[in-house]
Copies of this chain bind each other. A is one copy, B any other.
């Protein structure tokens, strides 16, 4: 038999078998269960099934492989090459035939279940396994001697060529099917959803369809357009959430509905209109039609989630904060008036509890703390902080009312993160003089050319990460005491410390003598104290419930997590002690979760099961939350973790801080002893 068949080994899978000479590589791969993509069903049109011959002797496999053991480049391959670029040595496995022993490499781009590499190195790659798949088929023409509907013959072809059976079919497809079949001369490409439902049909060969992963935030709506075949993000865009005109934050939007019955309908219409703009925007960027978007996934906090779906959010505005549903939702694009392909399916990740939304489900899906032995703390800071703690044993979640201070709101000099906003602050512990950086310039304020660099915008305010740094540096410099009071005694040392009514303030910046200054007021410190106490109390409550004193890793999700310098968050006691190298930003983890749910159908089952498993803690009914909150109002004693922080923040060796010393010191931080830790 060895004269008539040959050994073929596929890498990287290592699957192997003997095949009759003349077999196509694609047939051979399929019979071995080797993962090779194909849309056109082996007709040399789609180019998805490209492979390479590995040349040489592979003693492990007992094979000597060379290109001569494969049939010469065929006319079909030449035709494909003429229109599409093909890397040297690549062959279409549907066309190339086995002439002798071979080792065939299947590059990852030719695999159906390829890995989509994520940017952040520490995160897991995404396994590509989209629900929507394209299939090119040739359909039998109708025959009066054996009458049958066009749909039945299409289904017969899908069954014969793709082993897809018991399919159902949307009525829109039926409306387009007869025209498509005839326009395509009985060759069409269909999109099949979850191997069950025909949701779209195009005449002839259709190469690409797309999916949209959307994070509906209270402030901004962000969308990533992905090619469902490659998993690649082909366009991204964000728009302001137009619901802002009904209320800046979540509670004011719920209040709007309470005061204006029916107001939820306006807000639903507003967010849906913005989604349609976004879809048009990303489609235009990618040079495709919104009609080529066949799937979309959504994350958002519970109120955004409900408003997107047209559910009145008033129940979320007061105890017992009952969600309409804590299940994932699958529906049609038309049901939310989403003007992508009419049959596109929408998947909305599940909310977890009244204050812990589908955005947190997205964070969990992006970070998968349940796959790790280590105890991970996930924090997504907004007006509410959504907090998840756990590992492969348990997962707990709660929400904590941090207020908007961390986003620069309700801070006298606060502003949104935008050019002109101070985002980095350093204060000299000796002179108490500040220097800073603003968004839009890489220069520090004491660098030459700074004024020119920021001339266009000016220095307009302080953003969320800037206020954290300002307060932490003020604390490290002794300007703020352990109890949060701005130390007026220091006004003698530096005129930036100024009386303001019955308390003191610290002037960060003043453009000219006549211009209004940017000052950190005592009330600003109080707002941050309240927020950080709430955050810390939520975290601590989960730690107590879990029975742990420390966490192994901290991942900060969202815009705040991306911009904040985590050591300052630790200086202020926002987050619990942790080895600094284990504290990092998770980026827009909620949006990443939406992208994973878009690209990997199994991830949907995973997050639905995980969300059910999560132990939901309602901070509002936990007396311990109040206790910890009160304790956490003060700024922390910088004890053990400070030893490490000191290295990172590069404080003078002798500078250390604690409340007692702050309280008694009149000589400034220089005088503080390094043994102050208590």
Residues of A within 8 A of B (CB): 141-152, 169, 171, 174-175, 177-179, 309-312, 315, 319-327, 329, 331, 335-336, 351, 353-354, 616, 618, 620-621
Residues from chain B with a CB closer than 8 A to the CB of A169 are: 325, 327
Complex CA–CA separation, A178 to B351 (angstroms): 16
With A311-B178, A335-B171 as given contacts, are A151 and B320 in contact (CB-CB < 8 Å)?
Answer: no
Among B177, B178, B323, B620, which residue has its beta carbon within 8 angstroms of that of A150?
B323
With A174-B324, A178-B324, A324-B174 as given contacts, are A621 and B149 in contact (CB-CB < 8 Å)?
Answer: no
Q: Is the CB of A145 within 8 A of B178?
A: no
Complex CA–CA separation, A141 to B309 (angstroms): 23
Nearest Cβ on chain B to A616's Cβ, whole angstroms: 5
Complex CA–CA separation, A143 to B616 (angstroms): 12
Q: Is the CB of B321 within 8 A of A144?
A: yes
Give 25 pairs: A residue, B residue, CB < 8 Å, sorted on A. A144-B319, A144-B321, A144-B354, A144-B621, A145-B621, A147-B322, A147-B323, A147-B326, A147-B353, A148-B323, A149-B324, A149-B351, A150-B315, A150-B322, A151-B325, A151-B327, A169-B325, A171-B310, A171-B336, A174-B324, A175-B309, A175-B310, A177-B324, A177-B325, A178-B324
Nearest Cβ on chain B to A150's Cβ, whole angstroms: 5
Q: Is the CB of A149 within 8 A of B323?
A: yes
Sort A-B residue pairs by CB-CB distance and give the 3 closest, nearest first. Answer: A149-B326, A142-B322, A151-B325
Q: Is the CB of B618 within 8 A of A147?
A: yes
Nearest Cβ on chain B to A361's Cβ, whole angstroms: 13
With A149-B351, A169-B325, A324-B174 as given contacts, are A179 and B312 in contact (CB-CB < 8 Å)?
Answer: yes
With A144-B618, A320-B142, A322-B142 as given contacts, are A149 and B327 in contact (CB-CB < 8 Å)?
Answer: yes
Residues from chain B with a CB closer than 8 A to the CB of A319 are: 144
Complex CA–CA separation, A304 to B90 (angstroms): 53
Complex CA–CA separation, A309 to B149 (angstroms): 15
Complex CA–CA separation, A438 to B229 (angstroms): 71
User: Which B residue's beta carbon lies closest to that of A141?
Assistant: B320
Nearest Cβ on chain B to A397's Cβ, whole angstroms: 10
Q: Is the CB of A152 within 8 A of B326?
A: yes
Residues from chain B with a CB closer than 8 A to the CB of A353 are: 147
Complex CA–CA separation, A307 to B353 (angstroms): 46
Complex CA–CA separation, A148 to B351 (angstroms): 10
Q: Is the CB of B178 within 8 A of A312?
A: yes
Residues from chain B with a CB closer than 8 A to the CB of A177 are: 324-325
Residues from chain B with a CB closer than 8 A to the CB of A148 are: 323, 326
Residues from chain B with a CB closer than 8 A to the CB of A336 are: 171
Q: Is the CB of B322 within 8 A of A178?
A: yes
Tell which of A175, A178, A319, A321 has the most Cβ of chain B within 10 Å: A178
Known: A147-B354, A150-B322, A175-B312. 12 other contacts (CB 8 A): A142-B320, A144-B320, A147-B320, A147-B353, A149-B323, A149-B326, A149-B351, A150-B315, A151-B327, A171-B335, A174-B325, A175-B311
Nearest Cβ on chain B to A32's Cβ, whole angstroms: 36
User: Which B residue's beta carbon lies closest to that of A335?
Assistant: B171
Residues from chain B with a CB closer than 8 A to the CB of A325 are: 149-152, 169, 174, 177
Nearest Cβ on chain B to A199's Cβ, whole angstroms: 14
Complex CA–CA separation, A620 to B169 (angstroms): 30
Q: Is the CB of B620 within 8 A of A144?
A: yes
Q: Is the CB of B151 within 8 A of A324?
A: yes
User: Which B residue's beta carbon lies closest to that of A169?
Assistant: B325
Residues from chain B with a CB closer than 8 A to the CB of A331 are: 171
Residues from chain B with a CB closer than 8 A to the CB of A329 are: 171, 174
Residues from chain B with a CB closer than 8 A to the CB of A310 are: 171, 175
User: Which B residue's beta carbon lies closest to that of A310?
Assistant: B175
Residues from chain B with a CB closer than 8 A to the CB of A150 are: 315, 322-325
Residues from chain B with a CB closer than 8 A to the CB of A620 are: 144
Complex CA–CA separation, A618 to B174 (angstroms): 23
Complex CA–CA separation, A230 to B309 (angstroms): 36
Complex CA–CA separation, A143 to B353 (angstroms): 11
Complex CA–CA separation, A240 to B325 (angstroms): 45
User: Which B residue's beta carbon lies closest to that of A620?
Assistant: B144
Residues from chain B with a CB closer than 8 A to the CB of A174 are: 309, 311, 324-325, 329
Tell which of A175, A312, A322, A618 has the most Cβ of chain B within 10 Å: A322
Among B149, B315, B320, which residue has its beta carbon within 8 angstroms of that of A322?
B149
Residues from chain B with a CB closer than 8 A to the CB of A142 are: 320-322
With A323-B150, A331-B171 as given contacts, are A618 and B145 in contact (CB-CB < 8 Å)?
Answer: yes
User: Which B residue's beta carbon lies closest to that of A352?
Assistant: B147
Nearest Cβ on chain B to A374's Cβ, whole angstroms: 27
Among B147, B175, B320, which residue has its beta carbon within 8 angstroms of that of A616?
B147
Residues from chain B with a CB closer than 8 A to the CB of A146 are: 616
Residues from chain B with a CB closer than 8 A to the CB of A312 are: 175, 178-179
Q: Is the CB of A143 within 8 A of B320?
A: yes
Nearest Cβ on chain B to A332's Cβ, whole angstroms: 9
Complex CA–CA separation, A171 to B323 (angstroms): 14
Nearest Cβ on chain B to A156's Cβ, whole angstroms: 12
User: Which B residue's beta carbon lies closest to that of A147?
Assistant: B353
Tell which of A149, A309, A618 has the most Cβ of chain B within 10 Å: A149
Tell which of A147, A178, A322, A329 has the most Cβ of chain B within 10 Å: A147
Complex CA–CA separation, A152 to B616 (angstroms): 15
Nearest Cβ on chain B to A263's Cβ, whole angstroms: 15
Complex CA–CA separation, A460 to B336 (angstroms): 56
